[in-house]
Structures are given as structure tokens and as C-alpha cells.
Amino acid sequence: MLRIGLTGGIAAGKSTVAARLRVLGADVVDADVLAREAVAPGTDGLAAIRTRFGAAVIAADGTLDRPALGRIVFDDDEARNDLNDIVHPAVRDLYAARLEQLPPERIVVHDVPLLVENAMSADYHLVINVDAPEHERIRRMRADRGMSADEAAARIAAQADDRERGKAADVRLRNEGDEAEVLEQVGQLWHDRLLPFNANLLAGRCAERRGGPILHPYDPTWPDQAERLGARIRRECGPAVLVVDHIGSTAVPGLPAKDVIDLQVSVADRETLDTVREPLARAGFPRKPGIWQDTPKPADPDPDHWVKRFHANADPLRMVNVHVRVVGTPGWRYALAFRDWLRAEDDWRSKYLAVKRAAAAEHAADPSTAGYAEAKEPWFSVVADPAVNAWTAATGWRPPS
């Protein structure tokens, strides 16, 4: 089951996107509806709210007086946190119950206005953020909700800002005014990404690689993307995963690279290499078939010391390599040291870029990028390995995680 988080600031157009996704075939679960169910008359949630905030927030018909409660919590952080502590666990339980009722092949969209504020990004395979310019959102609130400009601006200021939403979301849908344009974006997202993502997830299949070894200028959002992906792995795998590190070229600021996020998943022992197979697949990272190991380096030529497991993303539009390695093994250590060496040494970073460009040009027609990777291996063993070892000895480097 592909789980999608849908969010967006007030009056950005999230409801329009949710409605279109429902028409296309998604099961949309509205967090606001669940929140109302969680505090309906007779629920433990409403009883707890009455105990915390008093009878003044209960209407004459026994329902929650939302405007009265809103006036209490809007400018009071402590009161708002207490309310969240009552409502959020109940909403999570209701959401989990909805998922259990749905067939596993469905695509579920969880419409959550405060997804970013409540740090929920790791709960989903993909997060969509709907946004619009602030002036357009204020115009909509004045026209559709009868708010003053100051009231509308205050509502916007009380929510996460664009930077925070950008860090939490994988997909940005811009809704600047013409509804047809945002609906077209939604349709394209559904057919090009969500449907094949779900098909791959159900089949336990990695997304097909496409495009060849194309080097892109360094993207400053790569670390944020890696953090989101790693958080999903940690959320699904639990304590079996000790840490998830962003490695490879996209982890080196300023270095052009293939648009592929490399993650190192650290586990305690060889048995756990296989224990995490199923949770990684559920998180959206199926195992690549075959027996995998890193190419042994001269300092430790025993192939058995370089065993790992290799997973990749089921998402067709976000290529990810997941290297599962045992803490302390040569491959685990080398991945971290090589990354930190390139971050610290400008000259070596330039030399590595020249190697990458030459390999990319030689294997430009290979969509698998296997030839590109193999072409770099001699440089790693003959040139980089002794240089990295000398650098770690000279600097006293230790693995940061």
C-alpha cells in the first residue's frame, strides 16, 4: 500500500488536489474529519478536552464548541500543546484503523494540514506539498472566508513557512490561480509517479534506471532529500537500523553528481543484513537481486570482509541506492571516510570530478550506469584508497556515526 502525505498552507489549494486524487482513484483520508471524529460526543477525546479546558468549550448540544476552544489555544502554546496531546493519538489510531480496512493494492492519500508542524513526513512513502504565493492565499481567504487581510496573514504566520514545507516534502505542486494548471500537475504526478511507484512497491521491485550517467550541478536540496529518505527507513526498521548516513557524491557539497541519493544503513551484525530486508521493502526500498559486495581495496583484500546488501527505491522519479553494511567493516568505514575526505580536500575533489566526467563520457549510452561505476573502480583502489588512508591517519579521523 502506497501511503502519500498531502499537505499545504491554508488557502493554498490542498482540497482541490485531494479531490482530484480521489477522482483519479486514490483513497483520501481527511485528517480534519478524523479529528472531528476523535472529539465527537461520547468519545474519550471530548471528555479529556472538557477536563482540561472546562465546560465553556462544550456547546449546548454536547458537541465541541470549536470557536470557543480556538480562542483559548490560538495564542497559548501550552494550551495548544495540551490539545494536541489529547487529539493526535486518537487521530493516529483512527487513521491506522482506516488503513486496515483498505485492500493492500490501494494508494492512500492522507490529507493533513499540519503534517509539517507535527513532523509526520517519515510516516509516508511520499509527501506532496501544495503551495501558492502568500498574496494569493490572502486574497482567497478574504474572498472565500470573509477574513480581513490581517486575520489572513496571522493564520499564515501561525503555520510552517515555505522553507520548512520544502524540506519536508518530496513533491511541490504550485497552485497560483488557474485551477486547470494544478489539476494537470496532479494528473501527471498520478500517472508518471504514483501508479508505477505503487506497482513497484506491491511487486517488491526496484524502479527501472533511466537516463545514463549524467552529471548534474550540485543540488543543495540533496541533503534534505537524504534526511527524509533516511527518516523513513529508521521509522520502518526501528532499532535494527543503528544509523542512516548520506554518502556518495550527492553528500559532498559543490560536487557535480548523478542525481542519485546514496544512503548507508548501518546494522550491528551479518544476521541483521537480512533481518531488515522486509522492513526496507515496506519503506519503499526493495532489495536488488544478486549477491553483493564492495570491491575489496588493497589494504584489506579479503572479499568476505566487504559483503553488504543492496537495496534501491521503488519510486520511479527518485533514484536511491541503499547500501546495508555492518558497522566496523571495511566497506562501511570506507564509505564514510571517502565522503569526508572529499568534503575536506578541494584538490582531491577536483581530481575525482575529472575521473567522473571521463567515465560518464565513455559510458554515456549505458542506462544502467554499471559501466560508469566499473570505470571508476581502478581509481578508487590505486589512487583514492591510499590517499584516504593517509588522510585519516594524518587527521585522526574517526567515523562520525
Residue list, annotated binding site for ATP: 11-16
CA distance 401 to 399: 6
CA distance 135 to 176: 10
Nearest to 143 by CA among 155, 152, 134: 152
Cα dihedral sign, 108-109-115-121: positive
CA distance 392 to 374: 25
User: Which residues have CB under 8 Å from 188's CB, separation 6+?
Assistant: none
CA distance 233 to 236: 5
User: Which residues have CB under 8 Å from 168's CB, separation 6+?
Assistant: 7, 115, 116, 121, 127, 129, 160, 228
- Quick one: 383 exposed, middle or buried, by C-beta within 10 A (0-12, 13-18, 19+)? middle
DSSP code for 204: T
Residues of the chain by 3-state class (helix, strand, coil), percent to 5: 55, 15, 30
* Binding-site entries: 11-16
Cell of 310: 543492496
Q: Are residues 45 and 150 in contact, defined by beta-carbon separation less than 8 angstroms?
A: no
CA distance 72 to 32: 19
